[in-house]
Amino acid sequence: MPGELIPIIAIIFGCTIPMVAIWAKHKEKVAQMQVSTTAEHTAEKAAQYASQVQKLEDRVRVLERIVTDKGYDVATQIEALRDTRQVEDTDSGVPLNMDSKEHA
């Protein structure tokens, strides 16, 4: 009886080893495809981030130019806008400092 099992075991191992080898090669190919896909995706994201950073740097340069070219005028214009807003608020009849006690 044990002598009869040896050829059966040999056939099973003979079929199993090539199947495992084929499965391992398939897994390796899948892993390589995932790595290449991830690398491409990462490269795309890096390019998008670089583009976004460049846009933001350009905007900051423009803002710096506006502030430095006008200098004192910017602060004066801001204060003028605040003064205009305070005049508009008082003209509307709505007090600026309303306490909750006054509503009761």
What's the pTM value of the predicted model, to 2 decimals?
Answer: 0.38
For 17, the token pair is 């080893």
**Are residues 61 and 67 in contact, defined by beta-carbon separation less than 8 angstroms?**
no
Q: Which amino acid is at 58?
A: D
Confidence of residue 97 (pLDDT cuts 50, 70, 90): low
33-66 as b/e: b if 16+ CB within 10 A: eeeeeeeeeeeeeeeeeeeeeeeeeeeeeeeeee
Q: Which amino acid is at 94?
A: V
pLDDT, position 51:
93
Each residue of 23-56: pLDDT tens digit?
999 999 999 888 888 888 888 899 999 999 999 9
